[in-house]
Structure 1
Amino acid sequence: MSLRPLLLAAIFAALGLPVIAGDTYQAIPFSALNGWQDDDHAAALEAFKVTCGDMSGEEWESLCAVAQQNPNARLYFETFFQPVMTKTTEPALFTGYYEPELDGSLTRTGRFRYPIYGVPKEVRAGGLWKTRRDIEENQVLKGRGLELAWVENPADIFFLQIQGSGRVRLQDGTTIRLGFGGSNGHRYQAIGPHLVELGVLQEHEVSANRIRQWVLDNPEKGQEIVWENPAYVFFRRVGDVPSDKGPLGAMNRSLTALRTLAVDPKYVTLGAPVWLEKGGSRPLNRLMIAQDTGSAITGPQRADVFFGTGSQAGIAAGLTKNSGRMILLLPIQEARARISGQ
């Protein structure tokens, strides 16, 4: 038996590379990246520096040390990285996410009646736990002191959970920040298809903004639809992130608006630069950094663009559902290992 596959697998493991059977990798020249010459490479380098120090592997560590010296950004990426595209039969899909801001209270009031929960001890143990319906309709967590804040309606909690982090504006003008704390272990089920089946929306109309508005306008029916998704996210208070910085992502570092990308870590090394070419009415060609993940983000050509904080960012994120392509920028040695390992 040839030892070459085993040796390549060992190299991949040492470099922190994911190994996915059946992947086809293709080297792409920088000149073939649409809009590369027009991007703000310095902004991408600043975003890369936020998380590169947390990456493992000698080559990544060396590249991070060079980045901290503030080199010419475009020359840095073109000198030390090779664009590599993972080819797949699955169509590319790029969506958006953001950090919501909700009005709320630290105590239950007549206006703020719906709790955002911290993590119960049963969830910390892992495995499947109660469904969304159990938690919200049957109030299995009531009276356990897990309420982090209270907001106006359950739809806001549902969409906060989809985003994975957010801010709550209190009535005294202060703000608390919430980050992902854990989940009940159930698989996320999109509710858009249910609204299409009911004839509420046409398939081409399905977007986060349209779904949220329908749920708000139809609270009883909307609640039943929301309960079709059994997954539930719990939060934690985040107190060490400055208000002018983005929320913490999967690498426990602040995200950067329109530079952070949520990816599938099975295919993309967290912290790696990724060139994104997103189509649609609002095309986006720019260098992003893979600094986050998401339960709905699966596959080599699937990603979520972080749009920032607040309602305007939410509108832009909700309108994003486009095809295109994304291309990894890998250190030269890693790129050669992938391509030669086919």
Structure 2
Amino acid sequence: MSSPSRVGRLRGSLAALAILGLLVACAAPPAPPVKPSTPPPAATPALEEQAPRQRQVLLRERSRWVAADWSELPGWGQDRATELWPALLQSCARPAPGWAAVCARARMEPPPTDDTSASLWLMQHLRPYRVESLEGETQGLLTGYFEPQLEATRRPQGAFKVPVLGAPADLQQRRPYFTRQQIESEPAVKARLRERELAYLDDPLDLLVLQIQGSGRVRFSSLDGSQQWVRLAFAGHNDHPYQSIGKTLIERGELRPGEASWPQIRDWLRRNPQRSNELLWTNPRYVFFREEALPDLNLGPRGAQGVPLTPGRSIAVDRNSVPYGTPVWLDASEPLSSQPLRRLAMAQDTGSAIVGAVRADYFWGWGREAETQAGRMKQPLRLWALWPDDGTGTSR
């Protein structure tokens, strides 16, 4: 006899299949009418009602995962699930513990040709878990990030006078290192770091955005018209705390709460250029970079898992809540349209501000449109982790 847990999971899977439009109901002949004088037969309680299912709980350092049915995932079956596959295969290049068998199947089998097949493949090999805090809170926060795409020069010229610095040789020996204000204003510090200048930007806010996002792609244009794209990747920071300039503007009454998005901050700086340094120096953290080749403009930056990020399918997480390489189901909304954002994504990155059980940062891609979406994203979030299932209700 099937266990109550197995029956509950089967019912959930059947419900999910119905959502996917794969459950074809066979028409049954109508039952004969029951005479009014005949008492109806006593209802037999369902097996799950006779013995309520005890849901499996997996404990992690900052979260607990509660086993769920596929039918509990809002919008499951309506996502373009085939779009997850490139990101899934990227993570399988560095599989998390317990993922070797699933990743081997994913690499050996032909990729799904349609969204229904992709969803069924995940249902066959994985099991959903609702992610919640250790105290049982199921709602968290979804923010967004992106990769800046900027113009730059190799040497200071014209408006391009804002240096992007590589990591100093003594960065590890001097902790904390110089503050942002010292690096950008003290002649002696500027002189010792001059040989570390990798590129020059034309806007100090672009440098700050590049440092907050952790990487960026820049285009160098030569006088002969040739162009070169490179990626500036994170190489370390000065070990000072990060201070949000948007929060500073709100605290000073310059912006109202809810207005501190990148477009509003840019607008404030355009209207107050003489106060630019005063504002930027309230954030003492300074990030250093290294230059990397960018042969493929469609390839995203590497996240903390060590694999390239995929726009719209990669997220940053608290690795003490959700391990790298875990597929997740997001239930949130888009920042500009407020349309539901219910989709599959891979946990492939992290960030200093991404802390907590139900907490994620959504990678929008690169360029100004991605910046606009990411800068306005601060949405309520529910999260389900998809984890390998051995078919017996236990997680590997």
TM-score tier (shorter):
0.7 to 0.9
> Quick check: 1:103 aligned with 2:148?
no
1:332 offset after TM fit, Å?
2.5
Show the counterpart of 2:210. 160
> Quick check: 1:28 aligned with 2:85?
no
Show the counterpart of 2:388. 331
1:284 offset after TM fit, Å?
0.9
Number of matched residues? 320
TM-score, normalization by structure 1: 0.87
Q: CA RMSD in A?
A: 2.3
Structure 2: distance between partners of 1:336 and 1:217? 59
- What are the Cα deviations for residues 27-63 of structure 1, in whole angstroms up to 9, with x where unaligned? 2211111111111111112211012221242x31111
Show the counterpart of 1:84. 129
What one-letter code is carried by the residue in structure 2 that aligns with 1:77?
L
- What are the Cα deviations for residues 139-196 of structure 1, in whole angstroms up to 9, with x where unaligned? 5243541011001021110011111111112223222211111111122122222111
Show the counterpart of 1:268. 322
Q: What aligned pairs does 1:9-48 form with structure 2 within 5 A after superposition?
A: 19-20=60-61, 23-48=63-88
Structure 2: distance between partners of 1:277 and 1:233? 32
Contact (CA 8 Å) 1:44, 1:288: kept in 2 or not? yes
1:130 offset after TM fit, Å?
1.4
TM-score, normalization by structure 2: 0.75
- What are the Cα deviations for residues 231-252 of structure 1, in whole angstroms up to 9, with x where unaligned? 1111111116522211222123
Contact (CA 8 Å) 2:96, 2:324: kept in 1 or not? no
> Quick check: 1:188 aligned with 2:242?
yes
* Cα gap change, 1:336 to 1:126, in 2 (>3 Å): farther
Show the counterpart of 2:254. 200
SS at match of 1:129: coil
After alignment, is 118-127 or 80-89 more displaced? 118-127
> Quick check: 1:318 aligned with 2:357?
no
1:314 offset after TM fit, Å?
1.0
What one-letter code is carried by the residue in structure 1 that aligns with 2:142?
F
What one-letter code is carried by the residue in structure 1 that aligns with 2:163?
P
- What are the Cα deviations for residues 192-236 of structure 1, in whole angstroms up to 9, with x where unaligned? 221112211111222232223323432332321221111111111
Show the counterpart of 2:118. 73
2:101 pairs with one of 55, 59, 62: 62
Contact (CA 8 Å) 1:53, 1:61: kept in 2 or not? no
* Cα gap change, 1:163 to 1:241, in 2 (>3 Å): farther
Q: What aligned pairs does 1:256-295 form with structure 2 within 5 A after superposition?
A: 256-279=310-333, 281-295=338-352
Q: What aligned pairs does 1:194-273 form with structure 2 within 5 A after superposition?
A: 194-239=248-293, 242-273=296-327
* Cα gap change, 1:215 to 1:301, in 2 (>3 Å): farther
SS at match of 2:230: strand
SS at match of 2:122: helix
Show the counterpart of 2:32. none
Structure 1: distance between partners of 2:205 and 2:294? 28
SS at match of 2:372: helix
Structure 2: distance between partners of 1:55 and 1:294? 20
SS at match of 2:232: strand
Show the counterpart of 1:116. 164
2:178 pairs with one of 111, 127, 130: 130
Contact (CA 8 Å) 2:237, 2:285: kept in 1 or not? yes
Contact (CA 8 Å) 1:188, 1:296: kept in 2 or not? no
What one-letter code is carried by the residue in structure 1 that aligns with 2:89?
K
- What are the Cα deviations for residues 75-125 of structure 1, in whole angstroms up to 9, with x where unaligned? 221112121122224851111111111111011112210100011122244
- Say which one has the larger Rg: 2
Contact (CA 8 Å) 2:153, 2:200: kept in 1 or not? yes
* Cα gap change, 1:279 to 1:335, in 2 (>3 Å): farther
- What are the Cα deviations for residues 253-292 of structure 1, in whole angstroms up to 9, with x where unaligned? 2211100101111111111101111135143110000111
Structure 2: stretches of 5+ with no match in the other structure: 1-57
The percentage of aligned residue pairs carrying the same residue is 39
* Cα gap change, 1:27 to 1:156, in 2 (>3 Å): same
Structure 2: distance between partners of 1:324 and 1:228? 30
After alignment, is 300-309 or 326-335 more displaced? 326-335
Structure 1: distance between partners of 2:295 and 2:393? 34
Contact (CA 8 Å) 1:18, 1:266: kept in 2 or not? no
* Relative contact order, higher structure (CA 8 A, sep 6+): 1
* Cα gap change, 1:282 to 1:219, in 2 (>3 Å): farther
Structure 1: distance between partners of 2:273 and 2:164? 18
What one-letter code is carried by the residue in structure 1 that aligns with 2:269?
V
Structure 1: distance between partners of 2:261 and 2:276? 15
